[in-house]
Structure 1
Amino acid sequence: MEIGISTFLESTPDPKTGQVISHAERLRNAVEEIVLADQVGLDVYGIGEHHRADYAGTAPAVVLAAAAAMTKRIRLTSAVTVLSSDDPVRVYQSFSTLDGISNGRAEIMAGRGSFIESFPLFGYSLDDYDELFEEKLELLLAIRKSEKVTWPGSRHRPAIRNLGVYPRSVQDPLPVWIASGGNPESAVRAGTLGLPIAFAIIGGMPERFAPLVNLYKQAAAQAGHDPSKLQIATHSHGFVGETTDQAADLFFPSTQAQMNVIGRERGWPPYTRDAFDAARTLRGALYVGDPEFVAEKILLLRKNLGVTRFFLHVNVGTMPHRELLRAIELLGTRVAPIVRKELARQGAQE
Structure 2
Amino acid sequence: MEIGVDTFVETTPDAHTGETISHAERLRQVVEEIILADQVGLDIFGVGEHHRKEFGDSATAVILAAAAPMTKRIRLTSSVTVLSAADPVRLFQQFATLDGLSNGRAEIIAGRGSMVDAFPLFGYDLKDYDQLFEEKLDLLLKLRESEKVTWKGGFRPAFTNLGIYPRPVQNPLPVWLGSGGNPESVIRAGELGLPLVLAIIGGSPLRFAPLVPLYKKAAALAGHDVSKLKIAVHSLGYVGESNSLAVEKYFPSTQASFNYFARERGWGQYTRSQFDDSSTLEGALYVGDSETVANKIIFMSKHLGFTRFFLHLPVGTMPHEDVLKAIELLGKEVAPRVREEVGKWDSNK
TM category (shorter chain) comes to over 0.9
Amino acid at match of 1:306: G
In the superposition, the TM-score normalised over structure 1's length comes to: 0.99
**Structure 1 contact 178–198 (Cα < 8 Å) conserved:** yes
Which residues of 2 match residues 37-116 of structure 1 at below 5 A? Answer: 37-116=37-116
Amino acid at match of 2:111: G
Aligned partner of 1:228 in structure 2 is: 227
Q: Which segments of 5 or more consecutive residues in structure 2 lack a partner in the other structure?
A: none
- 1:226 CA displacement: 1.4
Which residues of 2 match residues 173-184 of structure 1 at below 5 A? Answer: 173-184=172-183
Distance of 2:182 and 2:131 partners within structure 1: 15
Q: 1:322-342: per-residue Cα shift (whole Å, max 9, x none)?
A: 000000000000000100111
Distance of 1:60 and 1:101 partners within structure 2: 15
Over the matched positions of the two proteins, sequence identity in percent amounts to 66
1:214 equivalent in alignment to 2:240 = no
- 1:309 CA displacement: 0.4
- 1:346 CA displacement: 2.5
In the superposition, the TM-score normalised over structure 2's length comes to: 0.99
Aligned partner of 1:278 in structure 2 is: 277
Aligned residues: 349
1:304 equivalent in alignment to 2:300 = no
SS at match of 1:108: strand
Q: RMSD of the TM alignment (CA)?
A: 0.7
Aligned partner of 2:131 in structure 1 is: 131
**Structure 2 contact 237–285 (Cα < 8 Å) conserved:** yes
- 1:7 CA displacement: 0.5
SS at match of 2:70: coil
Aligned partner of 2:158 in structure 1 is: 159
Aligned partner of 2:6 in structure 1 is: 6
- 1:12 CA displacement: 1.1
**Structure 1 contact 10–317 (Cα < 8 Å) conserved:** yes
**Structure 1 contact 153–160 (Cα < 8 Å) conserved:** no
Distance of 1:262 and 1:181 partners within structure 2: 18
Which residues of 2 match residues 176-325 of structure 1 at below 5 A? Answer: 176-325=175-324
**Structure 1 contact 51–117 (Cα < 8 Å) conserved:** yes
Q: 1:180-223: per-residue Cα shift (whole Å, max 9, x none)?
A: 11100100000000000101000111111011111111100100
- 1:153 CA displacement: 2.6
Amino acid at match of 2:115: F
Distance of 1:84 and 1:131 partners within structure 2: 8
Amino acid at match of 2:249: L
SS at match of 1:298: helix
SS at match of 1:329: helix
SS at match of 1:69: helix
Q: 1:232-268: per-residue Cα shift (whole Å, max 9, x none)?
A: 0010000000001110111011101111122223332
**Structure 2 contact 135–153 (Cα < 8 Å) conserved:** no
Amino acid at match of 1:308: T
Q: Which segments of 5 or more consecutive residues in structure 1 lack a partner in the other structure?
A: none
Distance of 1:344 and 1:234 partners within structure 2: 19
SS at match of 2:210: helix
Distance of 2:259 and 2:289 partners within structure 1: 25
Distance of 1:349 and 1:230 partners within structure 2: 20
- 1:158 CA displacement: 1.0
Amino acid at match of 2:91: V
Distance of 1:27 and 1:337 partners within structure 2: 29
Distance of 2:265 and 2:189 partners within structure 1: 27
SS at match of 2:257: helix
1:169 equivalent in alignment to 2:168 = yes
Amino acid at match of 1:222: L
- 1:145 CA displacement: 0.5
**Structure 1 contact 236–287 (Cα < 8 Å) conserved:** yes
Distance of 2:97 and 2:80 partners within structure 1: 17
Distance of 1:296 and 1:349 partners within structure 2: 19
- 1:347 CA displacement: 2.3
Aligned partner of 1:335 in structure 2 is: 334
Distance of 1:74 and 1:334 partners within structure 2: 17
Distance of 1:70 and 1:243 partners within structure 2: 31
**Structure 1 contact 11–20 (Cα < 8 Å) conserved:** yes
Distance of 2:270 and 2:68 partners within structure 1: 37
Amino acid at match of 1:55: F
Distance of 1:139 and 1:160 partners within structure 2: 12
Distance of 2:219 and 2:347 partners within structure 1: 28
Distance of 1:210 and 1:286 partners within structure 2: 17
- 1:19 CA displacement: 1.1
Distance of 2:209 and 2:267 partners within structure 1: 25
Distance of 1:344 and 1:173 partners within structure 2: 28
**Structure 1 contact 108–175 (Cα < 8 Å) conserved:** yes
- 1:72 CA displacement: 0.4
SS at match of 2:53: coil
